[in-house]
């Protein structure tokens, strides 16, 4: 077990499908279930599909190694039943390896890939609010993360490249395999560029991804957690989300929230029994002069603390609210303000039970695409992975949960592809980082390492 964990840590593996939690830390435990997240629940993204279709045998081998390390009784790949080709590829790989791995087939809903939702779907267990899956005997890992684990354990290969979906209003939508640190501009060029004169781009999926203007494209590079690049005209609902100020968000909330409670009813964490009440948080701000006037006290704690366990999935603002308000932005503001105050989430609740109406409140990904004006891109079948090599990378030192990595190279150093360039801080959460190309170190800052071939 210790050897496997060290190989994973040395390779700099972090969660490829989420916030980038260091994988060796997640696997440093024992669990009853190893659940592999192959839901690809964000609409338009296709890289996990590619992994399932083209690397199923490698993933299966990695799952068996990690299952043994965790001493897990069960290994489960959770995906969607309508991914028929992917299910067939996984089934054949499991059968060929005679592997004790189950497939759990889910319906097509968002957010099926949320790890707490997935734990419930697979096991019927509810992860406690503000808790982790290991508290109910589960470890959840993305399927592309498992491919990275295979590369590290079998081929001693660190994480130096990333697979992306480049789609939306691009001239040649594609799947792209690029070095870590590749500028987004290069990725867009590889997809034929865009004919739009004024556009937004999403770093990630439509719901959880960050929205940027085209003027910000030059500042963005591919990180270990980057999943896609989606281009869209700067108009419609996404434009509103991008350009509205925080003050406008709260002005709308005070003026137009009618307390219909739909934001709370459709909240996936609320439907698992967590005490998340977006409508109550909206009502709280309807009664104060400014969003800056949060008064955290005994009376407001029960309402405001619910924002701390919001998973920011976006259902409340994109789908639920009939007035087009932004409960997610309100919740995130409260979460940030309470963090500044050092407030920790607390609850007296010890038992969690899913709402009996939960299954009837599942959100269709198609409805998300309709609201965001992205339906015209929905039927693209991206099956070929295009390799892009670049002669210059700007590798961020923080691509993971935890502290930034510490550079061990200096300007002028000559590097080979795969060389270690930054170490995780000692006795702290973090991840190693490696050079994604061969070349010379041009610049080292506290934010990135610039390497040129």
At residue 245's C-alpha, the angle toward residues 241 and 249, to 5°, is 75
Region 203-210: what's the mean pLDDT? 97
CATH number listed for the domain at residues 391-453: 2.40.50
Residues 397, 405 contacting (CB under 8 angstroms): yes
Residues 448, 411 contacting (CB under 8 angstroms): no
pLDDT band for position 289 (cuts 50, 70, 90): low
pLDDT band for position 1 (cuts 50, 70, 90): low
Per-residue 3-state assignment (H helix, E strand, C coil) for the chain: CHHHHHHHHHCCCECCCCCCCEHHHHCCCCCCEEEEECCCCCCCCCHHHHHHHHCHHHHHHHHHHHHHHHCCCEEEEEEECCCHHHHHHHHHHHHHCCCCCEEEEECCCECCCCHHHHHHHHHCCCCCCCCCHHHHCEEEEEHHHHHHHHHHHHHCCCCCEEEEEEEECCCCCEEEEEECCCEHHHHHHHCCCCCCCCEEEEECCCCCCEEEEHHHHHHCECCCCCCEEEEEECCHHHHHHHHCCHHHHHHHHHHHCCCCCHHHHCCCCHHHCCCCCHHHHHHHHHCCCCCCCCCCCCCCHHHHHHHHHCCCCCHHHHHHCCCCCCHHHHHHHHHHHHHHCCCCCCCCCCCCCCCCCHHHHCECHHHHHHHHCCHHHCCCCCCCEEECCCCEEEEECCCCCCCCCEECCCCCCEECCCCEEEECCCCCCCCCEECCCCEEEEEECCCEEEEEC
Is the predicted pLDDT of residue 245 greater than 90, yes or no?
A: yes
Residue 245 vs residues 202, 250, 324: alpha-carbon distances, Å: 18, 9, 15
Q: Report long-range pairs for 187-191 (Cβ below 8 Å, ≥24 apart).
A: 187/222, 187/229, 187/388, 188/217, 188/229, 188/231, 190/166, 190/386, 190/388, 191/166, 191/167, 191/229
Residues 400, 226 contacting (CB under 8 angstroms): no
Q: Report, in angstroms and rounded to the nearest whole number, the Rg of the chain calculated over CA atoms.
A: 22
Residues 426, 391 contacting (CB under 8 angstroms): no
Instruction: Determine the pLDDT at residue 270.
Output: 97
| Bridge partner residues of 414 (DSSP) | 440
Least confident of 17-21, 214-218, 319-323: 17-21
Token readout for 95 is: 């059968």
Token readout for 335 is: 């979460």
Instruction: Determine the pLDDT at residue 23.
Output: 98
Residue 125 vs residues 66, 241, 283: alpha-carbon distances, Å: 22, 34, 31
Residues 78, 36 contacting (CB under 8 angstroms): yes
Look up the CATH architecture of domain 2-155. 3-Layer(aba) Sandwich (3.40)
Residues 430, 439 contacting (CB under 8 angstroms): no
Average pLDDT over the chain, rounded to an integer: 96
Region 282-308: what's the mean pLDDT? 88
Is the predicted pLDDT of residue 2 greater than 80, yes or no?
A: no
Q: In CATH terms, are 160-243+379-389 and 391-453 the same topology?
A: no
End-to-end CA distance of the chain: 37
Is the predicted pLDDT of residue 283 greater than 90, yes or no?
A: yes
How many residues does this entry show for the chain? 453
Mind listing the pLDDT tens digit for each residue in 18-27? Answer: 889 999 999 9
Instruction: Determine the pLDDT at residue 151.
Output: 98
pLDDT band for position 436 (cuts 50, 70, 90): very high
Burial of 138 (0-12, 13-18, 19+ CB in 10 A): buried
**Pairing outcome for strands 420-423 and 406-407:** antiparallel
Mind listing the pLDDT tens digit for each residue in 366-413? Answer: 999 999 999 999 999 999 999 999 999 999 999 999 999 999 999 999
CATH number, domain 160-243+379-389, options 3.10.20.600, 3.40.50.280, 1.10.630.10, 1.20.1260.10: 3.10.20.600
Residue 418 vs residues 10, 160, 231, 355, 432: alpha-carbon distances, Å: 11, 7, 31, 48, 11
Rounded CA-CA distance 274/349 in Å is 9
Is the predicted pLDDT of residue 304 greater than 90, yes or no?
A: yes
Residues 122, 33 contacting (CB under 8 angstroms): yes
Region 407-422: what's the mean pLDDT? 98
| Domain ranges, ordered by start, for the chain | 2-155, 160-243+379-389, 257-355, 391-453
């Amino acid at each position: 077990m210790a050897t496997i964990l060290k190989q994973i840590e040395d390779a700099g593996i972090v969660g490829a499908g989420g916030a980038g939690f260091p994988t060796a830390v997640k696997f440093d435990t024992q669990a009853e279930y190893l659940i592999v997240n192959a839901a690809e629940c964000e609409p338009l993204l296709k890289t996990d599909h590619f992994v399932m279709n083209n690397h199923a045998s490698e993933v299966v081998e990695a799952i068996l190694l990690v299952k043994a390390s965790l001493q897990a009784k069960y290994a489960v790949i959770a995906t969607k039943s309508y991914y028929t080709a992917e299910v067939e590829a996984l089934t054949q790989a499991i059968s060929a390896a005679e592997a004790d791995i189950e497939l759990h087939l889910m319906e097509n809903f968002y957010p099926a890939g949320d790890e707490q939702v997935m734990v419930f779907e697979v096991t019927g267990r509810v992860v406690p609010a503000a808790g982790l899956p290991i508290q109910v005997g589960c470890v959840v890992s993305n399927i592309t993360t498992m491919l990275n684990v295979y590369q590290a354990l079998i081929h001693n290969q660190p994480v130096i490249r990333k697979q992306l979906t480049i789609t939306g209003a691009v001239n040649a939508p594609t799947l792209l395999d690029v070095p870590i640190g590749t500028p987004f501009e290069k990725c867009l060029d590889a997809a034929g560029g865009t004919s739009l004169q004024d556009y937004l781009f999403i770093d990630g999926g439509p719901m959880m991804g960050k929205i940027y203007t085209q003027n910000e494209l030059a500042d963005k590079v591919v990180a270990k957690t980057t999943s896609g690049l989606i281009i869209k005209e700067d108009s419609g609902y996404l434009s509103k989300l991008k350009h509205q100020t925080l003050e406008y968000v709260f002005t709308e909330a005070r003026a137009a929230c009618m307390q219909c409670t739909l934001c709370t009813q459709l909240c996936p964490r609320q439907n698992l029994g967590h005490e998340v009440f977006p409508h109550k948080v909206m009502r709280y701000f309807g009664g104060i002069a400014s969003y800056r006037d949060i008064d955290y006290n005994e009376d407001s704690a029960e309402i405001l603390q619910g924002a701390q366990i919001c998973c920011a999935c976006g259902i409340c603002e994109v789908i639920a609210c009939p007035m087009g308000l932004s409960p997610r932005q309100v919740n995130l503001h409260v979460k940030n303000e309470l963090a500044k105050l050092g407030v920790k989430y607390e609850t007296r609740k010890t038992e969690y039970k899913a709402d009996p109406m939960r299954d009837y409140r599942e959100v269709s990904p198609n409805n998300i695409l309709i609201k965001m004006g992205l339906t015209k891109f929905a039927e693209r079948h991206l099956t070929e992975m295009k390799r892009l090599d670049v002669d210059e990378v700007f590798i961020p030192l923080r691509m993971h949960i935890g502290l930034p990595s510490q550079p061990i190279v200096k300007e002028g150093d000559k590097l080979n592809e795969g060389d270690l360039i930054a170490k995780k801080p000692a006795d702290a959460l973090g991840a190693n980082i490696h050079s994604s190309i061969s070349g010379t170190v041009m610049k080292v800052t506290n934010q990135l390492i610039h390497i040129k071939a």
